[in-house]
Amino acid sequence: MNFPTNVFSKNATFDGALSIAGIKATTLAKEFSTPLFVIDEDDFRSRALAWKSALEKHFGAQAGHVYYASKAFISVEVAKWINEIGIGLDVCTGGELAVGLAAGFPADRIEVHGNNKSEAEITAAIAAGCATIVLDSFHEIERVNRIAGAHNVIQKVLLRLTPGVEAHTHESISTAHEDVKFGFSIASGAAWKAVEEVEAAPHLRLAGIHSHIGSQIFVADGFEVAATRLIEFLARFRDHFNRELPELDLGGGYGIAYLADESTMDPDQMMANLAAIVKSQCAAHDLVVPTVSIEPGRAIVGPSTTTLYEVGTTKVVTLENGANRRYISVDGGMSDNIRPSLYQAEYLAIVANRESTESTRDSRVVGKHCESGDIIIRSIELPGDVDAGDLLAVPATGAYGRSMASNYNHMVRPAVIAVKSGTARVIVRRETVADLLSLEVVESPRTLS
Ligand code: LLP
């Protein structure tokens, strides 16, 4: 078999069967059951480090933080890895913050996002001492200022701006054009008004601006346009207030390979491009280069993880045009990977437990949920003899897989295990039916008025 190394984690090998970090996929499936998320710890760490090194190499003294976007996937163990590597953590809910804090993550490297932070979330962030809160609306300017005042602190904030960029990606994950719920629009004047309000707020210290243009982006021009407009904005701020804002956060969104003919964005190349633009635009406006931060999520965790499924049933259906389609049903589905249904995202799969010499046939890999849209892979060539009991491996499922998992059809969410140099350990255990039943409440009706 032509093993597609570009989509598998660095320590995945195929030698008659798939192994990850020296452990056979069949052994992992036997030991931990399926569906199973297998995270290659060294792969994760090396990608996180590569983004940090690239930022530092190209921005030098102006390198801020790589904030790992925890929405892609977070657990206490992963937060510890991030901390050990010395990068920051981007959280966008109280839940993500709680995981970071439970891992002992230093609050001075936590950045708080979200377009609708509750008072409780703002309070938790300020009480924990989170270094940066990224403000997303006028309501939040008032709330964060008030809550910071109540805690007797001056909170460092960034303003999330929408620079009006059409990123080349799926509409649902494109975030910086005008008609979106995020941030303050530069074009409409909202961004400038927000600056004035923050400057007048006694418990806020405006350190800079932020934008995140979208996710799974490969074309650099979106980042370039965003950076150019943000730097114009920094110059306008300097002209008006006679001081320079020291921080610029350019968000995440760097694309990764899901298919054999795709390639994952190279951190060094990406940071070289970004640094060139930031430096030339700052020079054009006679600005000191600000401290630049980024927020990759997918590009760190996505390629590190492989999902293992067991095939349960197969069937062949005859289509209207007389052609046959083979359905291969696995023991998970849209509850552990909603991305194909939600964004028409494409994945590949390989047979992980053996090498087949059978010729391939067009196949559709589907889950076990009660709807036809429960598709993992719409069309893929897989060996003709794939059958019940075979193990399928779907690579590059680390980002927005387990983190967007659901209990649809009362499926339990899969375990995540970390593998490293021939060792394996559970970092998030598999849910049980008892977990699900533990939410059920039998309560006498209470009269409320
Ligand atoms: N920073 C901010 C403010 C974000 O909103 C996001 C992602 C990131 C950073 C990280 O983006 P990344 O480097 O992972 O592309 N569920 C979708 C992706 C949604 C992304 C939401 N925000 C998917 O499965 O494709």
Structural domains of the chain, ranges and CATH numbers in brackets: 12-33+304-437 (2.40.37.10), 41-301 (3.20.20.10)
- pLDDT band of residue 172 (cuts 50, 70, 90) is low
- pLDDT band of residue 177 (cuts 50, 70, 90) is confident
93: exposed, middle or buried (Cβ count in 10 Å: 0-12, 13-18, 19+):
middle
Tell me the mean pLDDT in the region 134-158.
98
Is the CB of residue 170 less than 8 Å from the CB of residue 216?
yes
Tell me the mean pLDDT in the region 357-370.
96
Q: How far is the CA of 437 from the centre of ligand 1 (A)?
A: 32
Tell me the mean pLDDT in the region 227-256.
97
Q: How far is the CA of 283 from the centre of ligand 1 (A)?
A: 30
- For residue 316, the cross-strand partners are 326
pLDDT for residue 373 is more than 70: yes
- CA nearest ligand 1 atom 15, residue: 253
364: exposed, middle or buried (Cβ count in 10 Å: 0-12, 13-18, 19+):
middle
270-295 per-position pLDDT tens digit = 999 999 999 999 999 999 999 999 99
Show the tokens assigned to 49.
């480090």
The residue from 92, 130, 282, 370 that is catalytic is: 370
- CA nearest ligand 1 atom 5, residue: 212
- CA nearest ligand 1 atom 23, residue: 400
Would you call 130 a catalytic residue per the annotation? no
pLDDT for residue 175 is more than 70: no
Point out the ligand 1 atom lying closest to the alpha carbon of residue 403.
16
Instruction: Look over the chain and give the mean of its residue pLDDT values, rounded to a whole number.
Output: 96
Q: Which of 55, 172, 174, 215 to mutate to test the pocket of ligand 1 (most atoms within 8 A of CB)?
A: 215
Q: How far is the CA of 221 from the centre of ligand 1 (A)?
A: 18
Q: How far is the CA of 215 from the centre of ligand 1 (A)?
A: 5
Q: How far is the CA of 297 from the centre of ligand 1 (A)?
A: 7
pLDDT for residue 69 is more than 80: yes
pLDDT at 267: 97
pLDDT for residue 176 is more than 70: no
- CA nearest ligand 1 atom 8, residue: 252
**How much of the chain, in percent, has pLDDT values that exceed 90?**
92
pLDDT at 438: 98
Tell how strand 36-40 and strand 23-24 pair up.
unpaired
Tell me the mean pLDDT in the region 370-395.
97
Contacts of 218 (CB under 8 A, 6+ apart): 168, 255, 265
Q: How far is the CA of 399 from the centre of ligand 1 (A)?
A: 9
Asked if the bond preceding 35 is cis, omega within 30° of 0, the reply is yes
Q: Which of 295, 343, 346 to mutate to test the pocket of ligand 1 (most atoms within 8 A of CB)?
A: 295
pLDDT for residue 90 is more than 70: yes
**Rama region for 143: left / alpha / beta (φ>0; ψ in -120 to 50; rest):** alpha
Ligand 1 surroundings by CB, under 6 angstroms: 69, 71-72, 90, 113, 173, 212, 215-216, 251-254, 295-299, 339, 343, 399-400, 404
DSSP letters for 361-409:
EEEEEE-SSSSTT-EEEEEEEEETT--TT-EEEEES--SSSGGG---GG
Tell me the mean pLDDT in the region 165-170.
72
Tell how strand 415-420 and strand 36-40 pair up.
parallel
